[in-house]
Amino acid sequence: MSAQPMSLFAVLALTLGVALQAAAASPPAKTGRRPPARVSFIEAPSSETPAAREKRLKRECRGRPNAGACLGHTR
pLDDT tens digit at each of 75 positions of the chain: 556 777 777 777 778 776 767 655 556 666 788 887 888 888 787 888 889 988 888 888 877 677 777 877 765
Measured CA to CA, the distance from residue 60 to residue 56 in angstroms comes to: 6
The dihedral of CA 56, 58, 61, 65: what is its sign? Answer: positive
pLDDT at 7 (0 to 100): 79
Instruction: Specify the 3-state DSSP secondary structure of 49.
Output: coil
pLDDT at 9 (0 to 100): 78
- Assessment of whether the complete model's pTM goes beyond 0.75: no
pLDDT at 50 (0 to 100): 85
DSSP code, position 3:
H
